[in-house]
Amino acid sequence: MDFGEKETFRGLNRASQSQRQTGSAIKPLAVLVPGINEKIFTGATIYDDEKKTFEDGYAPGNNSGYLGKITVRRALESSQNVPFVEMMEEITPKKAISYLEKMGITSLTENDEGLPLALGGLDNGITPLEMAAAYATIANDGIYIEPTFYSSIVDNTGKTVLKKKQEKRTVFSEQVAYVLKKLLQEPVDGNNGTATYCSISGIDVVAKTGTTDDNYDKWLCGFTPYYTAVTWFGFDQNETIYYNNQNPAGIMWANVMRSIHDGFTGARFYQPNKISVEEICSDTGEIARSGCTNTYVEYFLEGTEPEECTQHSGSRVNAHIDTDEETSVYVDNKEDLELDPDDEEDVKTDDIENTTVQNEVIENTEDTENIVNDEIPEDVTNPENDIYEPSTGGGEDNTENGSGNNENSNEETVDNVEDTENTEGITEESPAA
Ligand SMILES: [Zn+2]
């Protein structure tokens, strides 16, 4: 794809300045993060996906029909709207907003304090950069790290004249982060997933799509154990995006992420302690017995596991975890990742409320892509699999010194500079007595 030459200086930065509607890309942040952290639900909790009218007559639809009683995981897989609004009802929009703000979202208003928040119907919208930083909070095991575009500036003598201090704060535990990661793999790995084309062989991938009313905005937010990336695709002045049943943001995301992971060692999300892995009955969301017919594996914070299935009989079934790990470097297959804008007939969308699509020829596209945390935490690997060799040493608090972009020269250099100045000031004002 040719985006042409750069013609504007200090022009609009769509990554950091364009506040856009997020659609379903906000579901993990606004709903799953608070819901899992507050133990309001688990990945196996059942919600009823049916036509429903909420307070103030709010009646969100599903693009792909209603599925009845489904787990949170299943609702996430194909981005069913009604269950997420039900979850938001329990969480309360006020609480959801407090979580979003802790994850660095700054553009919410009091008008966002309502159930449509669950589906990304926002007052102002959110910038791609802030979305990336919020997703990176999950990738970084619950620690929000303020995005930065530089780490330090040195003068021609090598003296550090400016050093960026990134704000960091813990929003939730690594256990909560892990449960979220395992849930958020579902759109990629699930049979009904909306982001299956984002998979990377041998590497765990989290990805969530977003599409807004009238197809004005397309998003893909996701991460691997190595990188977090967010792509947005749309027009500065809203126009319907028309791309043959494809999400152009997702296609870009997949191409860029596959490309930058090329040659990397396979990696899985590291499972911390205090995580329970259970075989679950899909019908009841309870721990499977031998009489249950539809079962799957779910991950729980220790102590939040459900009871044994109350609809089926038999003995308790232990979780069956597929240990067939790929350890080799993946082989890129870009054939299914080409954008195909030609066929204007076959259009439907993955997860939107409004399916109205007009025929449009896209003449100029605006895309944004951010990669925020290329920190490689030392715990990206599951030691049991032994498929990733961390280059950073031991130590549990290594997240600040990942081997990514930042050359973290020590902060003392800067402190010394400041101290020197302060010392002079103090000297002049030293009290006589
Ligand atoms: Zn059952």
CA distance 368 to 126: 13
pLDDT of the residue at 32: 98
Residue 188, token pair as written in the block: 């990629």
pLDDT tens digit sequence for 101-151: 999 999 999 999 999 999 999 999 999 999 999 999 999 999 999 999 999
Q: Where are the domains of the chain?
A: 23-268+325-401
Residues 75 and 45 sit within 8 Å (Cβ to Cβ): no
Burial 238-256 (b: 16+ CB within 10 A, else e): ebbbbbeebbbbbbbbbbb
Dist. CA 286 → ligand 1 center (Å): 7
Q: Give the model's confidence band at 99: pLDDT under 50 very low, under 70 low, under 90 confident, else very high.
A: very high
Contact 22, 280 (CB under 8 A): no
73 C-alpha vs ligand 1 centroid, how far in Å?
16
392 is written with which tokens?
């950073």
Q: What average pLDDT score do residues 62-69 get?
A: 88
Cα-to-centroid distance, 381 and ligand 1 (Å)? 33
HSE toward the beta carbon, residue 286, CA cutoff 13 A:
13
pLDDT of residue 3: 67
Q: What's the CA-to-centroid distance between 357 and ligand 1, angstroms?
A: 41
User: Taking the model in full, what pTM does it have?
Assistant: 0.77
How far away, in angstroms, is 292 Cα from ligand 1 center? 4
% of the chain at pLDDT higher than 70: 74
What protein residues have CB closer than 5 angstroms to ion ligand 1? Answer: 281, 284, 292, 309, 311-312
> pLDDT at residue 380 above 90?
no
pLDDT digits (tens, 9 = 90+) for 2-27: 667 888 888 999 999 999 999 999 99
| Alpha-carbon span 344 to 395, nearest angstrom | 54
Is 195 or 4 the better-scoring residue by pLDDT? 195
Give me ligand 1 centre to Cα 320, in Å.
16
Tell me how far the alpha carbon of residue 312 lies from the centroid of ligand 1, in angstroms. Answer: 5
Å from CA of 183 to ligand 1 middle: 20
Domain 23-268+325-401 in CATH: superfamily? DD-peptidase/beta-lactamase superfamily (3.40.710.10)
- Of 45-54, 68-77, 232-241, 324-333, give the lowest mean pLDDT range: 324-333
Min mean pLDDT across 64-73, 220-229, 393-402 is at 393-402
